[in-house]
Amino acid sequence: MTIANKVLAVNNDLPIKTNLPVHSGKVRSVYWLTAEDSKRLIEEKGYNVPLTTELAIMVISDRISAFDCIWHGEGGLKGVPGKGAALNAISNHWFKLFKEQGLADSHILDIPHPFVWIVQKAKPVMIEAICRNYITGSMWRAYEKGEREFCGIQLPEGLAKDSKLAELLQTPSTKGILEGIPGVPAQDDVNITRKNIEDNFAAFNFKSADDISLYEKLLTQGFDVISAELAKIEQIFVDTKFEFGYVKDVAGNDKLIYMDEVGTPDSSRIWDEQQYKAGNIVENSKEGFRQLLLNHFPDPDILLNKDRMEEREGLARDNALPVSVLMAVSDTYTGIAEKITGEKIVISDDPKAEIIEILRKEYNLID
């Protein structure tokens, strides 16, 4: 069996029972269950949610996206072996820790397979909740050009690239295209200020103005929990993105929860602490892959300039990356996952067949 066969690249074609179109994102696909199957599973499995809660099967893939494009390798390699299992394992680990430490619940109710979550439907807050402990990436690029205000926060003079900030900064951006918010362009992933959110909290799907402080508190607490745990394995939590949403608790009250993924190499920068102290940046996250792409192509502006999206999509479509590149990414993802969780990431021979078998036998969800 070739390594390409062990990669789950297409995850929106499973015969899972659903009446709705499958929603396929860059990495995950979502299958909304029927009301009957949702209610049946809540009762059979004892999920602690109202019986009317809509459930979905969320299947991760091994696809790798960077600069808003999906990349592939030579020899039919359509993703990164072990990436999906590594991402889910890391998120599961952090969500469990958050719950144990009394932070907040997540949208995950069950984990039937390393590639699969059963989740409850949440109404997402339309904010990419980003926080930063070091100045790097887009913040450094803006700073280097002379910008000193970032998401309404004033940055001091004299900061050095990749240096630690005086305090953890929250630098939110929009999730999706939001229309009609004064001072906020109708574009995805636009930096916003706390005042933008305060003045238009309902447009961002907050139930109340007070919940802005709650999301900020959960963001900081989550960051601190992960940062402290990573420090134990000599890793630095540089920056990250969380997402939040609302669900109903058993009593029918609105509850703000963590959703999507947390603290993964896809959503965060993680640096090797010993290397950092020696003056080197060694990425244990997707940032290493992004840097490789920037160095690989002669005109990196294509990858950084949103006005050149058509050219960028052409680069991703027409360039098969060396297998060695994707295998190096695999080593990064599985390596950091094993360090964080203390458990081996097993690369399945046929993940799709395994998922179908489990969902048929134990959940009765396969057509």
Beta bridge partners of 72: 320
Is 348 in the same domain as 213? no
AA letter at 12: N
Last residue of a domain, one of 244, 277, 310: 277
Same structural domain, 177 and 271: yes
- Who contacts 165 (Cβ-Cβ below 8 Å, separation ≥6)? 132, 133, 134, 135, 159
pLDDT in tens, 242-282: 999 999 999 999 999 999 999 999 999 999 999 999 999 99
The pLDDT, as a whole number, for residue 1 is 56
Tell me how many domains the chain contains.
2
Co-location of 133 and 118 in the same domain: no
Q: Are residues 143 and 154 in the same domain?
A: yes
CATH number at residue 140: 3.30.470.20
Same domain? For 141 and 258 the reply is yes
Q: Are residues 201 and 272 in the same domain?
A: yes
Q: Is residue 366 part of a domain?
A: no
CB 82, CB 345: distance < 8 Å: yes
Which of 277, 299, 327 is at the close of a domain?
Answer: 277
pLDDT digits (tens, 9 = 90+) for 112-153: 999 999 999 999 999 999 999 999 998 999 999 999 999 999
Q: What is the pLDDT along the chain (367 residues), one digit of tens a residue?
A: 578 888 999 999 999 999 999 999 999 999 999 999 999 999 999 999 999 999 999 999 999 999 999 999 999 999 999 999 999 999 999 999 999 999 999 999 999 999 999 999 999 999 999 999 999 998 999 999 999 999 999 999 999 999 999 999 999 999 989 988 998 998 888 999 999 999 999 999 999 999 999 999 999 999 999 999 999 999 999 999 999 999 999 999 999 999 999 999 999 999 999 999 999 999 999 999 999 999 999 999 999 998 999 999 999 999 999 999 999 999 999 999 999 999 999 988 899 999 999 999 999 999 8
271 shares a domain with 128: yes
Asked if the structure places residue 305 within a domain, the reply is no
Residues 56 and 185 in one domain: no
Residue 344 structural domain: 3-122+339-361
In a domain, 189, yes or no: yes
Residues 200 and 153 in one domain: yes
* 260 falls within a domain: yes
CA distance 51 to 41: 9
- Are residues 353 and 270 located together in one domain of the fold? no
Is 301 inside any structural domain?
no
Q: How, if at all, do strands 164-170 and 235-248 pair?
A: unpaired
Verify that 101 and 12 share a domain, yes or no. yes
Domain annotation covers residue 296 = no
Looking at residue 34, which CATH number applies to its domain? Answer: 3.30.200.20
Q: Are residues 97 and 238 in the same domain?
A: no
CA 236 to centroid of chain Cα atoms: 18
Contact at 8 Å (CB) between 180 and 168? Answer: no
